[in-house]
Amino acid sequence: MIIDCYGNRFPHKGVEQKRPYMVNDAGNGVIYLCYSDAAVKPIIRITDDGNGTITQEWAYGSWDDKASLTYVPINNMIEV
């Protein structure tokens, strides 16, 4: 199954706007957020490099493992 950063299956119609379920400020310019209470879910990582560039990436995994997951650019889809 191929999904986007919100967990929507591909192909899908339109973009469903959701509000974050959990947000974690990990410090050093890194914030994690997710939109689901599932055990395994899409997790978004927002990184501020301190020089005006903010990067958004996402991975699929456990919230407890968020720091060690492999992240892809926010608009990429992944197969799970």
Quick: pLDDT tens for 47-68: 999 999 999 999 999 999 999 9
**Rg, the chain, Cα only:** 12
Question: Which band of pLDDT confidence, cut at 50, 70 and 90, is reported for residue 4?
Answer: confident
Cα gap 67→47, rounded to integer Å: 12
Is the model more confident about 71 or about 6? 71
Give the largest CA-CA distance in the chain.
Answer: 37
Least confident among 3-7, 14-18, 36-40, 70-74: 14-18
Query: What is the rounded average pLDDT for all residues in the chain?
Result: 91
DSSP state of 66: G
Q: Is 33 helix (H, G, I), strand (E, B) or coil?
A: strand
